[in-house]
Structure 1
Amino acid sequence: MKTRAITGFFFIIVMLASVLINGYVFGVFYLLLSGLALLEFYRLVKKAGINPDVMTGVLNGAFIYVVFALISVDGDYHKLIFLLPITLSFISIQELFKKNNAPFTNIAYTYMGIIFTIIPFTFFYALAYLNGPAANLHYPMAFLLMLWANDTGAYLVGSKLGRTKLFERHSPKKTWEGLIGGIIITALAAYIISIYFTELSVTQWIWIGVLISCFGTVGDLIESMFKRSIDVKDSGGILPGHGGLLDRFDGLLLAAPVVYAYLYFITNA
């Protein structure tokens, strides 16, 4: 418990620092984080006897992140998108030169790793540039605060009052009571955030909190389903007492793209 608490404290400090310093640090930090998460994904599927194209996958993942990061800052970079079909095709081409019995399984998991890890972090980074080329780090910071509020609320309420299983087949400890507690605590956090971050109304912040709670929980369940499918408990040991990066960011995987879409449409309405 002590190790978990110490790790959690420094983890929060580093995460907050990444969105407090400036846009460049923010971008580079999450590029590295998404790359490490992709490597973790590939390491896990290798345990199941699958051989993804790690180097090609990581290079493509980094390129996708950088391309969309540049487009978020300056739309003139949109032409770089047309390079992606060329770089992504090397994942399939590479399998032509390998001797294995399941080439398309390897190809599928190589692409899946990029979709599962890189794309969500790309949307999370883009939150800072919804309103133009000048970074507004209030959105990603608020996202993280509400994500942590949801995790904390769901854990506290679920451990004390949890009775009704939410999705026992994939996550035996999750309960409906925990989900509802997470939503309430996150809504409260959203209300407090609305006092200091006035870009949105209190109602809009609360709706974002509800989206983070619901889709963050679904992302957690999907990551649990993934781990069970390859028979592992933790995605890694990079964070002592907390497991791996996928364990810590499972709530971001679905929530970040959904929140980005919501914010994009309400801020451009």
Structure 2
Amino acid sequence: MKTRAITGFFFVIVMLGSVLLGQYPFGIFYLLLIILCQREFYGLIKQSGFKPNLVWGLINGFFIYTVFAIIPFFNANALIFHKLLFLIPVTLSVVFIQELFNKTEAPFSNIAYTFLGLILICIPFTFFQAMAYVKGDFNFHFPLAFLLLLWANDTGAYLTGRQFGRTKLFERHSPKKTWEGFFGGMVIAAGVALIISHYFNDLPWNRWVAIAILISCFGTLGDLVESMFKRSINVKDSGGILPGHGGLLDRFDGLFIAAPVVYAYLYLVLN
């Protein structure tokens, strides 16, 4: 428990620092996270007997995130960098080409898992990074609020589920999650959203509460999906990089589905 608490403390400090230190540390930090999370994901897939294309999975993850990340930096010359988007189909096609030369029994499974690493990890982090620019210039309010609401939901779900949990939410994939915990996490996240609305006036209070509800629903879904993935390959933790907490995928599973949904909501209400 002590190790878990110490790791959690430093994890929170690093995450908050990545958002508050400005656009360059913010962009670089999440690029690093993409690479580490993809390596962890592909490593787990290899344990199950498949052979995803690690090199080109990482190259495509790096390229996709970088292209979308640098476009907001250079608004005056945005059209120049938009042209880089047309190179993405080329780099993605290399995954298919290389599999033609590999002598494997399940080439399309390897291809599918390579692309799943991009869809499950690279794309959500790209959307999360884009939250900081949803109003144009860099604004740390939205990604910071997202993290705070995600943590509030997770903490609230854990505490209320432990105290009042009786009805299983999805026992087949996550035996410890309960409906009581789910709604408890949602209520606490909504309360934190009300507090955030007093300090960040980018949105009215009801919009912040709506974001909290979205994070509770889709963050929990992401957690369940990651649990389903781990059970399908018979592993308990996705890794051991965070002592007492497992791997990076275990820490960011709530972000993987919630981030694109919240970004879409922000884009619609702000435009």
**TM-score interval (norm. to shorter):** over 0.9
Q: Which residue of 2 aligns with 1:225?
A: 228
Q: Identity of paired residues, percent?
A: 66
Equivalent in 117, 121, 126 of residue 122 of structure 1:
126
Q: 2: distance between equivalents of 1:183 and 1:79?
A: 41
Q: Which residue of 1 aligns with 2:32?
A: 32
Query: TM-score, normalising length from structure 1?
Result: 0.98
Alignment partner of 1:45 is 2:67: no
Q: Which residue of 2 aligns with 1:110?
A: 114
CA RMSD in angstroms comes to: 0.7
* Offset at residue 78 of structure 1 (A): 1.6
Q: Which residue of 1 aligns with 2:22?
A: 22
What residue identity is the alignment partner of 1:45?
Answer: I
* Offset at residue 72 of structure 1 (A): 3.8
Q: 1: distance between equivalents of 2:248 and 2:15?
A: 12
Moved more, 220-229 or 74-83: 74-83
Alignment partner of 1:243 is 2:246: yes
What residue identity is the alignment partner of 2:178?
Answer: T
Number of aligned residues: 267
Alignment partner of 1:159 is 2:159: no
* Offset at residue 80 of structure 1 (A): 1.2
* Offset at residue 40 of structure 1 (A): 0.5
* Offset at residue 71 of structure 1 (A): 2.8
Match of 2:52, SS? coil
Alignment partner of 1:84 is 2:88: yes
Q: 2: distance between equivalents of 1:28 and 1:212?
A: 24
Q: Which residue of 1 aligns with 2:135?
A: 131
Q: Which residue of 2 aligns with 1:101?
A: 105
Structure 1: stretches of 5+ with no match in the other structure? none
Q: 1: distance between equivalents of 2:88 and 2:122?
A: 14
Moved more, 212-221 or 75-84: 75-84
Q: 2: distance between equivalents of 1:98 and 1:167?
A: 39
Give deviations 1:16-72, integer Å, cap 9, x for gaps.
Answer: 000011000000000000110011000000000010010110000000000111234
Match of 2:132, SS? helix
Query: TM-score, normalising length from structure 2?
Result: 0.97
Q: 2: distance between equivalents of 1:254 and 1:10?
A: 25
Equivalent in 212, 215, 223 of residue 212 of structure 1:
215
Equivalent in 195, 198, 205 of residue 198 of structure 2:
195
Structure 2: stretches of 5+ with no match in the other structure? none
